[in-house]
Amino acid sequence: MRIQEIETYTVKIPLKKPFKTALRTVIEAESVYVKVTTDNGISGYGEAPPTHVITGDSLHSIDYAINQVYKPLLIGKSIDQLEEVMQILQQAMIRNTSAKAALDMAVYDCFAQQTGLPLYKLLGGYRDELETDYTVSVNEPSEMADDAQQYIEDGFNLLKIKVGKDEIAKDIERIKAIREKVGDQPTIRLDANQGWSVKEAIYAIRKMEDLNLNIELVEQPVKYHDLKGLKQVTEQTETLIMADEAVFTSIDARRVLEMGAADLINIKLMKAGGIHEALKINRLAEAFGVSCMVGSMIETKLGISAAAHFAASQPNITRFDFDAPLMLKEDLINGGVTYERNHIYFSKDAGLGIHSIHEQSSKREEQ
């Protein structure tokens, strides 16, 4: 089964409500879709959103990497030799993890379709359904409490609260307001997106512990490159600390794990460069007794389907942050995973189960 064609499309979809973190505000989701066609008539799909402030990738850099760098190297290559294809993705460019991820998931989609199995079954098939959290954007405390309450009414039991945008006292106010509104029952996890200093993080987390706000975990409290700082926060608080922006690839994961810098790791295909590398990170973490969450960027149901298939396949992945498609006004994907409130289900279709992508997506002009 050889790769015959690689095509890209760009899509733009407005969000229902602006997505706000310590790093950015997003009002419209943008992505590059990729379609890989093989000589035996199989089509595999992938997606890469540009996340300037995290991966550094842009729409144009993703498109260039796929069409100008990888396409000439991959046309004619056999997907049956999956490891050779993965080696090309890995070696032809450093970084550019979003473009790599889009191609990686499309290739895995073809590979699984060839076997007749849904991808998550082929990768290990550990779970048949997932429960996702829902993200509360960082805003004024009262607005965040109202949003949190709404998501609970919509059927979510896990809330991921974005903090770290301004002063610490306000973040504590935010969490107090949310806890007061939603009660003790819902699980609350925080994501500071690198917005705190080491001292602020230790102060804020201890304060929330003293106030019994019952925080399940805190994601990436400090700057992505400050592993010593991350370790300090992990050691000096009781709450679980999760590395997100600090871990892109298995090399980053190894450093964090060897240092004991975090209790948990958030794996995203867009940081890792796809499923192949994400599997490595997860295995490595498992060997260190560290469980993982799988999350995403602002991705449509295409990218999320790939992430969900990977996440469901592995027992060491115990947390799932897959709310992004629920934030979008439109769904351009026919097939893929299915949402029922906070639960995600897989079809019995082979591969990712993507049947087609909606016409809204604009095919890239040949240059």
- Rule CB under 5 A: choose which of 191, 252, 277, 323 binds Mg ion: 191
Catalytic residue, chosen from 162, 231, 271, 301, is 162
133 binds Mg ion (CB under 5 A): no
Q: CA separation (Å) from 350 to 13, 44, 308?
A: 27, 11, 14
DSSP H/E element including 4: strand 3-20
210 is in an annotated binding site: no
Residue 329 annotated in ligand binding: no
List, in sequence order, every residue forming a beta bridge with 215; answer none if it has no partner. 188
| Binding string, residues 196-235; x marks residues near Mg ion by CB under 5 A | -----------------------x----------------
Residue 160 is assigned to a ligand binding site? yes
Can 176 be counted among the known catalytic residues?
Answer: no
135 carries a ligand binding annotation: yes
First to last CA, the chain: 27
Buried b or exposed e, range 284-316, using 16+ CB within 10 angstroms? bbeeeebbbbbbbbbbbbbbbbbbbbbbbbbeb
Q: With contact defined as beta carbons under 8 Å apart, do 193 and 201 qualify?
A: no
Is residue 77 among the annotated active site residues? no
Q: Near Mg ion by CB under 5 A, which window of 40-48, 90-98, 241-249, 328-336?
A: 241-249
Q: What is each CA distance from 199 to 62, 195, 206, 224, 226, in whole angstroms?
A: 37, 12, 11, 15, 13
Q: Which stretch binds Mg ion (CB under 5 A): 127-135, 191-199, 201-209, 272-280?
A: 191-199
Residue 162 or 309 having the CB closest to Mg ion: 162
**Which residue in the list 71, 165, 231, 268 is annotated as catalytic?**
268
Judge contact between 253 and 292, C-beta under 8 A: no
> Which of 216, 244, 252, 299 is in the footprint of Mg ion by CB under 5 A?
244
**Cross-strand bridge partners of residue 7:** 35
Residues engaged in binding Mg ion (CB under 5 A): 191, 219, 244
Binding site as annotated, residues for Mg(2+)? 191, 219, 244
